[in-house]
Amino acid sequence: DAGVIQSPRHEVTEMGQEVTLRCKPISGHNSLFWYRQTMMRGLELLIYFNNNVPIDDSGMPEDRFSAKMPNASFSTLKIQPSEPRDSAVYFCASTLTGGDSYEQYFGPGTRLTVT
């Protein structure tokens, strides 16, 4: 199993530019989560999907952030326009809901730097 795949691993962009982060969950998993990690705020849940449908986006900071999951094997997190305070490591995680397997499996993360 390849695990959760994220791309790019590193992204450096200038303030005002659009940034798109990508995630491929583990095959067969039906829930997908986007997190942001910073030194100041720790690990924050931004949004999660069940069966490709957004369930809780209360953690999305503002309208500049949007996420989509067009199918079970792909999701994007977009920031437009980006700002320096968006600099963080963004993680995608997936899980199979049901039974007793509620643990989430994390990707390696995308380190975003906005200058």
Catalog residues that contact another protein under the rule CB under 8 A.
Answer: 4, 31, 33, 42-43, 45, 48, 50, 55-56, 91, 93, 95, 97, 100, 102-109
Cβ at position 38, least distance to another protein in Å: 12
Nearer to another protein, 30 or 81 (CB): 30
Report which DSSP code applies to 52: T
Token pair recorded at residue 103: 């643990």
Nearer to another protein, 10 or 17 (CB): 10
Q: How far apart are CA 40 and CA 30, in angstroms?
A: 31
* Residues in CB range of 98: below 8 A, 6 or more apart: none
Nearer to another protein, 18 or 102 (CB): 102
Cβ at position 45, least distance to another protein in Å: 6
How many CB atoms are located within 10 Å of the residue 40 CB? 6
Cβ at position 49, least distance to another protein in Å: 10
Q: How far apart are CA 63 and CA 100, in angstroms?
A: 35
Nearer to another protein, 72 or 81 (CB): 72
Cβ at position 115, least distance to another protein in Å: 20
Token pair recorded at residue 56: 């809780």
